[in-house]
Every structure is written in C-alpha cells, then in structure tokens.
Amino acid sequence: MDCRWEDSRVPTTDEPQRRLGNHVRERRLVLGLSTQKAADQASVSRQTWINIENGARRTNAANHAALERTLRWRPGSVAAVLNGDDPTPLAYTSPETGRTIADLIREINELDLPVQTKLDAIHELIQVHRTTPGDPDVADRRDTGPAPDTQTG
C-alpha cells in the first residue's frame, strides 16, 4: 500500500522516504552517532529522527539542511536521495595542506616503510585530527562514547 500525504507530519510509506531512511541510518552509524545525538545535532526529537530512519516520516525542505549538516553530506544530498540518487558525503580538507585525511593516509601507505611504521604514522595522524577543532571526520567522535547506539526504535 502506498500512502501519500501532503502534510510532512503524517506517516508515509513512500519508497523515496524509505530510501532516505536507509541512507540516513547507514550514515549515522558510519559517523558513530546515537539516534539521540543525531537528533540533537539536527534539532529534532529522537522520535522524529527514528521515524525518518524508518521511512515513516516525510522530511520537509526546511529540515533538509539540518539532516545534511548532521550527516556531513553536501547540500542537496537529501533531495538527491529522494530523487533516486546517492548522497554526497563531505570530506574534511586540511586548511594547511588542502588534502583530506584519506589523501594523507594514501600517501603514507605509498611510502617505502615497514608496515608498523606506516601504522604508527596513520595512528598519529588520526590523533592529531581528533584534537583539531572543526574537523568533521573525527573531531566530533571524541564525545560519542565507546560504541555507537545502533538502536533504531
């Protein structure tokens, strides 16, 4: 049964909403966010966040930016998902070097060094970035606790 409602506060069973919910849940888990922390960052209730993840709630355009900011997606990603495309994650770029953490890790891996030396260098890189304010890849994870909340209900 395909229920369609004009009011964003009314439950829906739209395929685009289910698709969005799957992407939202997957990204939240990748970022290590609990449902409560994600909801808080997006300024919505935990129940609203859960309903979005379950595809049971339509998102209005006013909330798209909050979802994208919380999930570290490029602007327009929610609309893209609703239109059948994939979201585009933001990549942290160092203001000093203009390179992403992933770029730096790739460069370390290409060096002719013993594996343990490479691992130590990558570990140090991550530790430095954990203490870098504004680094969306890792800095915010330091306060999420030991394990993400995988509870969705």
Please write the tens of the pLDDT for every residue from 14-37: 899 999 999 999 999 988 889 999
Q: What is the pLDDT of residues 88-138, one digit of tens each?
A: 988 766 656 667 777 888 889 999 999 999 999 888 877 776 655 444 444
The domain segmentation of the chain, as residue ranges, is 15-82, 91-135
Q: What per-residue confidence (pLDDT) applies to 23?
A: 96
Q: Which CATH number describes the domain made up of 15-82?
A: 1.10.260.40
Q: What is the pTM of this model?
A: 0.57
pLDDT > 50? residue 151: no
Q: Are 139 and 145 in contact (CB under 8 A)?
A: no
Q: What is d(CA 143, CA 128) in angstroms, rounded to the nearest whole number?
A: 16
